[in-house]
Amino acid sequence: TQWVYSFGAGRNEGRADMRNLLGGKGANLAEMASIGLPVPPGFTITTEVCTHYYANGEQYPGELQAQVRAALARVEDAVGLKFGDTDKPLLVSVRSGARVSMPGMMDTVLNLGLNDATVEGLARASGDERFAWDSYRRFIQMFGGVVLGVDHHRFEEIIEGVKLDRGVVEDTALTAADWKTVITGYKEAVQEATGKPFPQEPEAQLWAAIGAVFGSWMNQRAITYRRLHDIPAEWGTAVNVQAMVFGNMGEDCATGVCFTRDPSTGEDIFYGEYLVNAQGEDVVAGIRTPQPMSKLRAKPGERPMEDVMPAAYAELVRVRETLEKHYKDMQDIEFTVQQNKLYMLQTRNGKRTAAASLKIAVDMCREGLIDQSEAIKRVAPGSLDQLLHPTLDPKAPRKVLSKGLPASPGAACGVVVFSADEAELRAREGESVILVRVETSPEDIHGMHAARGILTTRGGMTSHAAVVARGMGRPCVAGAGGITVDYTAQALSAGGHIIRAGETITLDGATGEIFIGSVAMIEPQLSGDFAALMEWADKVRRMKVRANAETPLDAETARKFGAEGIGLCRTEHMFFDPERIGAVRQMIMAEHETGRRTALAKLLPFQRQDFHDLFRIMAGLPVTIRLLDPPLHEFLPHSDAEIAEVANSLGVDVALMQRRAADLSEANPMLGHRGCRLGISYPEIYEMQARAIFEAAVQVAKETGAAPVPEIMIPLVMTKRELDITRAQVDRMAAEVFAESGTTIEYLVGTMIELPRAALTANQIAESADFFSFGTNDLTQTVFGLSRDDAGKFLPSYVEKNILPKDPFVSLDVEGVGALVEIAAQKGRGVKPGLKLGICGEHGGDPASIQFCETVGLEYVSCSPYRVPVARLAAAQAAL
Ligand code: PEP
Ligand code: MG
């Protein structure tokens, strides 16, 4: 078996696509060397050695030692030095390198091969005594820390002591003699900490370092990191051994890390830092201030590499181009300049912000490096969300108050208010407000609309606050359990801070963080690159994207973001306007049908206007309107004072009101008198809504000459019979309105599939349905038996403990809920091949769930207006 792969000096046994065997670093070193870039020669010990090591009681394969010797000999030949030689010693670096980069693993030992004798050889060969002793102390420090486990503070103390003695600040001011003093101290520290002298034998040093890399694969930090990032232990890590090049040999030497484009903006500019006369770890250690690469990015007083080392910089610019042409992606590279000659030590695809990811994908496509489908695949759909809302300026100072769930993205800043009415009042006066509630209910809608952001201390990712805020595009942090809200005192408190009504806070809905005071923000940009990528995505996707919207504002936002219709209009959200809620309450309070009909008659014109507006805004695009769904008690006033107020306004007595409220209260309202069950108990409600829809449609047909095709949707159906009964109500109203108006329009009647029984009997239900829309919020709730309003308290810990891979209310549970969706789709289409299928639960905006919807062959997904671009991109990726 080949356990060792050489790279550099004309012998490249690996390639970039061999990262499973060679790890990311090793594979890319070989790749860079084979495309002619200057890579110091070396070799990679494969990840299979790591696996073998752990499968065999921490023993190496028998052939390993010989293969390492042979590979090392090739390096010696290539550079004309010998490992352990006292005249011309070869020094090597030893680095770990897994398939994916894993911070927290043992990383690097530099200058390995130095000892009391070879350091003299290095001094003579380089003609630079200071450099040699500096390298030796670096080696003891790194080897001591990483391999021998000596606390790094010990080394720092020693260096600081010597600097203090000499009265210098920078390491570069220390002389060879100073470094010798440091080294004496270092050796004592090693002896003290390990009970043994610092190892002098280079071969022993090498094997100890290799052993430390493999050992680090099983250290606690690495295990935790793997668990958090789903990295299997079987992958193992590789070890890279490479001839040292020196950035610390003088003023014509340097070391640096950089990105081929700006990783925060995506701008096509060489971005990074370098340090003259330094080794790799100095750049990150923060002892000296690294300098910029490009003149364009240099501030006054800085010394960009472009000016200081023009030749090496020009070479690096060529390398940058070669790498981007070759890898076709932005690279994150490490380099060293030794006596004006450039060497490449690492390359990998660079991490970047959402904004950079978008810009780089679009730019690279325009530059001809990648095609449109590749550009589409390069951008994580979920990251677009960040680009559609104002975001916190990453450079702005901030002070964290507390943290909750990142329920709806975007940043918002405003004064704290504790009630919806107060939010509305202050917003009307032009103030930016943050509505803070323990939790929100449908009665708070007007306040949520008025607020810039919403903060709740209870509830999960599908709590009322989260769903509604996402729908409105309001940033929201939900379930911030660390905050206590005191409505009476009009104050909130967290971690010893008290914030009173009227004081300012800032929310980051993308991270769930809450800050004291205001934090500066950056506005979103919807044109340019964003628009270009969206256009490319639209060309390749199969599924349509609709929006969940009920207000004209939401519908307009949805269209602006490219929605191709409304997939869910939750009519109950139209009932909370101050001028309507009275009639709604009157309807609920009525004990008999006549009373209800009187109240409903007052609501009819409002509903008709609502639908009229939606049809006009959507201009011929499909509009799915769901008839009333939630339990009636949601519309009732809660406090005694509120009950009294409503009783008064209705002219009934308080006792009656209270009795009726008590009658309506349910132990488990989510599974109670709601959905089509209401339409069956009180047919007049659905009749009013259906009439409003048809009258509005007829009116729009007359106004515009183009008739909308309403899709009327019955919620929470569990049997075909329920759909038959409610459908008959709708059909009857259609016939009435068409007869009255002399105009007939087309319409569809379908149902939500949001209960397991409906999914399992979808063949029966399909006989009476023109379409299905999967209500995966309720379907998840009922399949898991998890209350969507309460699960937020413990679900995060389920995810942390790996009991569930993700919050099933956020990302569709393919195995359980998804299986029911598939069954229902199959059974439904079995009866009606042309049955229209869509999804309108929160999952309709989740990229992984959208991928699943593509595999089931749904016609469309429907999501919050602000997620429409996310869904367009995700649907395109799913289709590729
Ligand atoms: C659902 O249950 O998935 C759905 C879309 O309806 P709601 O969230 O209004 O219950
Ligand atoms: Mg539902």
> What are 426's strand-pairing partners?
none
ipTM, interface predicted TM-score of the complex: 0.99
Ligand 2 center to residue 780 CA distance, Å? 10
Only one residue has tokens 């139209």, namely: 574
d(CA 48, CA 52): 6
Residue predicted with more confidence, 514 or 553: 514
Pocket test for ligand 1, best of 628, 718, 777 (most atoms within 8 A of CB): 777
Ligand 1 center to residue 591 CA distance, Å? 28
Residue nearest to atom 4 of ligand 1 (CA): 775
| Beta-strand pair 405-408/521-522 | unpaired
Using only C-alpha atoms, the chain has a radius of gyration, in whole angstroms, of 34
d(CA 493, CA 418): 13
Judge whether residue 285 has pLDDT over 60: no
Q: 310 pLDDT band (50/70/90 cuts)? A: very high
Arithmetic mean of pLDDT, 748-768: 98
SS3 455: strand
594, exposed or middle or buried, with CB in 10 Å at 0-12, 13-18, 19+?
exposed
SS3 491: strand
Pocket test for ligand 1, best of 468, 546, 566, 568 (most atoms within 8 A of CB): 568
392 HSE (CA, 13 A, CB side):
26
Measuring CA to CA, which residue among 467, 474, 497 is closest to residue 484? 497
d(CA 397, CA 393): 9
Q: 586 pLDDT band (50/70/90 cuts)? A: confident
Per-residue model confidence (pLDDT) at position 737: 98
High-pLDDT (> 90) share of the chain, %: 73
d(CA 130, CA 114): 14
d(CA 435, CA 433): 6
Q: Cβ(423)–Cβ(443) under 8 Å?
A: no
Ligand nearest to the CA of 462: 1
Judge whether residue 680 has pLDDT over 80: yes
List, chain by chain if needed, residues with CB within 6 Å of any ligand 1 atom. Answer: 568, 570, 629, 754, 775-778, 840-841
Per-residue model confidence (pLDDT) at position 287: 59
Phi, psi of 518 (to 5 degrees): -105, 145
d(CA 530, CA 872): 12
Q: 171 pLDDT band (50/70/90 cuts)? A: confident
Pocket test for ligand 1, best of 467, 624, 629 (most atoms within 8 A of CB): 629
Find the catalytic residue in 50, 253, 569, 840: 840
Ligand 1 center to residue 462 CA distance, Å? 10
Per-residue model confidence (pLDDT) at position 482: 92
Judge whether residue 57 has pLDDT over 70: yes
The token duo for 524 is: 């979103």
Per-residue model confidence (pLDDT) at position 48: 97
Q: 462 pLDDT band (50/70/90 cuts)? A: low
204 alpha carbon, distance to own chain's centre = 45
The secondary structure of residue 250, as a DSSP letter, is S
The token duo for 380 is: 């994580």
Q: Which residues, other chains included, contact 829 with Cβ-Cβ below 8 Å and sequence gap of 6+? A: 766, 835, 837
Per-residue model confidence (pLDDT) at position 42: 98
Ligand 2 center to residue 134 CA distance, Å? 68
Q: Which of 16-30, 421-435, 839-853 has the lowest mean pLDDT?
A: 421-435
d(CA 468, CA 445): 8
Residue nearest to atom 10 of ligand 1 (CA): 778
Phi, psi of 567 (to 5 degrees): -100, -15
d(CA 633, CA 663): 9
d(CA 618, CA 613): 9
Q: Which domains, from first to last, does the chain contain?
A: 70-243 (1.20.80.30), 254-352 (3.30.470.20), 390-522 (3.50.30.10), 541-569+622-628+685-879 (3.20.20.60)
Q: Cβ(763)–Cβ(757) under 8 Å?
A: no
d(CA 458, CA 324): 48
Per-residue model confidence (pLDDT) at position 491: 95
Residue 506: C-alpha distances to residues 159, 398, 411, 438, 511 (Å) = 43, 9, 7, 17, 12
The token duo for 93 is: 């670096």
Only one residue has tokens 């530059």, namely: 367
Residue 612: C-alpha distances to residues 700, 702, 730, 735, 746 (Å) = 7, 12, 18, 19, 16
Measuring CA to CA, which residue among 502, 507, 506 is closest to residue 518? 506
Ligand 2 center to residue 146 CA distance, Å? 55
In order, the DSSP letters of 99-138 are SS--BTB--EEEEET--TTHHHHHHHHHT-HHHHHHHHHH
Q: Cβ(262)–Cβ(254) under 8 Å?
A: no
In order, the DSSP letters of 638-670 are -SHHHHHHHHHHHT--HHHHHHHHHHH--SSGG
Pocket test for ligand 1, best of 778, 783, 788 (most atoms within 8 A of CB): 778
Residue set of the binding site: 570, 626, 754, 775-778
Residue nearest to atom 8 of ligand 1 (CA): 777
In order, the DSSP letters of 48-87 are HHHHHHHHTTS---TTHHHHHHHHHHHHHHHHT-EET-SS
Per-residue model confidence (pLDDT) at position 159: 93
Residue 782: C-alpha distances to residues 445, 459, 565, 721, 809 (Å) = 26, 18, 28, 20, 11
The token duo for 157 is: 């103390």
Per-residue model confidence (pLDDT) at position 681: 96
Q: Taking all residues of the chain, what is their mean pLDDT, rounded to a whole number?
A: 92
Find the catalytic residue in 464, 573, 612, 843: 464
The amino acid occupying position 740 is: E
> What are 68's strand-pairing partners?
none
Q: Cβ(836)–Cβ(862) under 8 Å?
A: no
365 as an active site residue: the answer is no
Residue predicted with more confidence, 511 or 331: 331
Residue nearest to atom 9 of ligand 1 (CA): 570
221-261, pLDDT tens digit by residue?
788 778 767 788 899 999 999 999 999 888 999 999 889 99
Judge whether residue 649 has pLDDT over 80: no
Per-residue model confidence (pLDDT) at position 848: 96
Residue set of the binding site for substrate: 570, 626, 754, 775-778
Q: 775 pLDDT band (50/70/90 cuts)? A: very high
Ligand 1 center to residue 416 CA distance, Å? 30
Ligand nearest to the CA of 466: 1
Which atom of ligand 1 is nearest to 715's Cα? 6
SS3 599: helix
Residue 602: C-alpha distances to residues 13, 404, 736 (Å) = 81, 41, 19
| Beta-strand pair 860-863/544-548 | parallel
SS3 43: strand
Judge whether residue 678 has pLDDT over 70: yes
Residue 698: C-alpha distances to residues 686, 701, 704, 750, 770 (Å) = 18, 5, 10, 20, 21
Neighbours of 244 (CB within 10 A): 26
d(CA 256, CA 274): 4
Ligand 2 center to residue 742 CA distance, Å? 35
Per-residue model confidence (pLDDT) at position 104: 63
d(CA 29, CA 42): 9
Pocket test for ligand 1, best of 574, 677, 752, 860 (most atoms within 8 A of CB): 752
d(CA 546, CA 563): 5
Which atom of ligand 1 is nearest to 548's Cα? 5
Per-residue model confidence (pLDDT) at position 78: 96
Ligand nearest to the CA of 774: 1
Per-residue model confidence (pLDDT) at position 658: 86
Residue predicted with more confidence, 832 or 577: 832
Judge whether residue 176 has pLDDT over 70: yes
Q: Which of 38-47, 588-597, 601-610, 830-839 has the lowest mean pLDDT?
A: 588-597
148-159, pLDDT tens digit by residue?
999 988 999 999
Residue nearest to atom 1 of ligand 1 (CA): 775
Sheet of 331-338, strand order:
291-292, 271-276, 254-259, 331-338, 341-349
> What are 72's strand-pairing partners?
none
SS3 806: coil
Q: Cβ(772)–Cβ(821) under 8 Å?
A: no
Ligand nearest to the CA of 839: 1
Which atom of ligand 1 is nearest to 778's Cα? 2
Per-residue model confidence (pLDDT) at position 283: 65
Ligand nearest to the CA of 776: 1
Helix residue spans in 254-409 (DSSP H) = 280-285, 305-308, 310-327, 354-366, 372-378, 381-388
Which atom of ligand 1 is nearest to 841's Cα? 3
> What are 544's strand-pairing partners?
860
Per-residue model confidence (pLDDT) at position 284: 57
Q: 98 pLDDT band (50/70/90 cuts)? A: very high
d(CA 196, CA 374): 56
596-613, pLDDT tens digit by residue?
999 999 999 999 999 999
633 as an active site residue: the answer is no
The amino acid occupying position 502 is: G
Ligand 2 center to residue 324 CA distance, Å? 48
Judge whether residue 870 has pLDDT over 70: yes
Residue set of the binding site for Mg(2+): 754, 778
* Percent of the chain that is helix, strand, coil (3-state, to 5): 50, 15, 35
Residue predicted with more confidence, 772 or 106: 772
Residue nearest to atom 6 of ligand 1 (CA): 775
Which atom of ligand 1 is nearest to 773's Cα? 5
d(CA 515, CA 802): 30
Ligand 1 center to residue 438 CA distance, Å? 22
Q: Which residues have C-beta under 5 Å from ligand 2, the single-atom ion?
A: 754, 775, 778
d(CA 680, CA 723): 10
d(CA 345, CA 7): 12
